Amino acid sequence: MELPPTAGLPLQLSDFSSALFSKYSAEKSFEKALAEILQADALDIYSSGTLCLRIAFETIKELSGRTKVIIPAYTCPLVPIAAHAAKMEVLLCDTKAGGFDFDLSNLEKLCDKSIAAIVPTNIAGLPADLKKPKELARAFGAYLIEDAAQSLGARRFDFEHADITVYSLAAGKGLSLYDGGILHCRDAELRVKSRLIGARFTRADAFLSLRRSLEIFGLWLFYNPQGLKFVYGNSLRSHLKQGDLLKAVGEDFELDIPAYEFGEFRKRIGLSALRRFPEFLSKNRLRALFRKKVLEEQFALDVLSEEEGTEGSWPFLMLLCKTQSDRDKIMDCLWGSGLGITRLFIQELPAYEYLRAIVPQVSMPNARDFAQRSFSITNSAFLREDMFRQILSSLIDLGLGRSDNQKMTTASES
Ligand SMILES: Cc1ncc(COP(=O)(O)O)c(C=O)c1O
């Protein structure tokens, strides 16, 4: 038995038959259905979230004539790789203490009239604070690009929005189509420009299209507690044994960004799966909120939470221990257990050896601390109540229970 580290919507055989046999037209396309869910006028699909970021960066570079972009020091290494590919200079902003939003005083210091874009980033499906970054972007004539790669389906009731939002459809994301990304430009000028630039990256490739069609079939076949052992768990344990943490979490990225046309077959599968997406999201949220409460009541750790006026998509629960040694104890015990426990980004961006040439080597103490004390628990429906209880037992055995409340209750009992 092996659980996925994130809650991805499992594909069904009916998605494939629907893709093969149902009518598909521009009016009833995947893009249209997604745009409805995201309340967008229009959006575009490319071969990855990283490529969408690259296109977004190139778009704003051409429109503004500026080449500097501010990204958080705790984010996916693919983000500076996308900026580098767009020939942009990366500036790192530290995260706020104990969180993933920008440290605002650091952000203010970095902003001036040479900045092309600020990139607030949603982590663990939780919408980032856009308000202050947007004010700063407006004050200095920069664009706001929301990196929502981890949060397709999260909602904002705070009426804040970025100029461009990027989502990921990679394996393990909420809506997984093996790979893919969504680029949503709010302004018509940005959209027209981004489409011109995007066209350079949408080369039809029959071989890759066929390969991806087989891979998405593999995703359906293996994305379950029996199959994941073969395509995820065994290699995870082998990398952990060798002490190769970057490989364990799949962060050993190349600087090259693959770019090709996202095939229609997978869009058709996406359209079919999308019908189950709203219900999947609301169940995920309820489960996550229950489990977050149980964890916080019983253990001396924090679970990252939604800001007021937002609803997360909750692919996993992101937890912050009091100390790095608590976090390491948990990982030693549970990382290879098959129960969907892992770490997100292993370290702050300047610490990645292979990013040395493209991110500034500056000290980012909050981002470093966050990477050192955090871990995640899957919010997949495959994590049944009895398995969640097993995780709680392990945390108690490790001496992490709150001393005033060692009694174990689970969401189903409370
Ligand atoms: C925060 C963040 N940004 C960007 C990306 C890149 O998305 P993709 O894997 O679709 O290229 C990821 C991927 O996990 C991510 O987590």
Query: Which stretches of 140-298 are assigned E, i.e. beta strand?
Result: 143-147, 155-156, 164-168, 181-185
- Mean pLDDT over 211-239 rounds to 97
Look over the chain and give the mean of its residue pLDDT values, rounded to a whole number. Answer: 95
pLDDT tens per residue, range 246-262: 999 999 999 999 999 99
Residue 393 has pLDDT above 80, yes or no: yes
Q: How far is the CA of 51 from the centre of ligand 1 (A)?
A: 10
Average the pLDDT over 283-295 and give the result.
98
Q: So what's the pLDDT on residue 411? A: 45
Average pLDDT of the segment spanning 121-147: 97
CATH 3.90.1150.10 range(s) for the chain read 277-397
Probe ligand 1: pick from 46, 121, 168, max atoms within 8 Å of CB?
168
Q: With cut-offs at 50, 70 and 90, classify the pLDDT of residue 414.
A: very low
Domain 277-397: state its class. alpha beta
When pLDDT is cut at 50, 70 and 90, the band that residue 25 belongs to is confident
Distance 169 CA to ligand 1 centre (A): 9
CA of 111 to the centre of ligand 1 (A): 24
pLDDT-derived band at 409 (thresholds 50, 70, 90) equals very low
User: Which residues does ligand 1 sit against, CB inside 6 Å?
Assistant: 48-50, 75-76, 78-79, 121, 147, 149-150, 168, 170, 181
Identify the pLDDT of residue 24: 80
Per-residue pLDDT band for 412 (boundaries 50, 70, 90) equals very low
pLDDT (0 to 100) of residue 410: 46
pTM of the predicted model over 0.85: yes
Give kind and range of the element (H or E) at residue 105: helix 104-110
Tell the burial category of 361 from Cβ atoms under 10 Å away from its Cβ (0-12, 13-18, 19+). exposed
DSSP 8-class letter at 96 = P
Nearest CA to ligand 1 atom 10: 49
Side chain identity, residue 412: S
Q: What integer pLDDT is reported at residue 160 of this predicted model? A: 85
For domain 13-199, the CATH architecture is: 3-Layer(aba) Sandwich (3.40)
Give 197-215 pLDDT, tens digit per residue: 999 998 888 888 899 999 9
d(CA 253, CA 161): 30
What is the whole-number distance in angstroms between the Cα of residue 283 and the centre of ligand 1? Answer: 24
Q: Which of 53, 84, 150, 183 gets mutated to test ligand 1 (max ligand atoms within 8 A of its CB)?
A: 150
Burial of 403 (0-12, 13-18, 19+ CB in 10 A): exposed
Say how many C-beta atoms besides its own lie within 10 A of residue 74's C-beta.
26
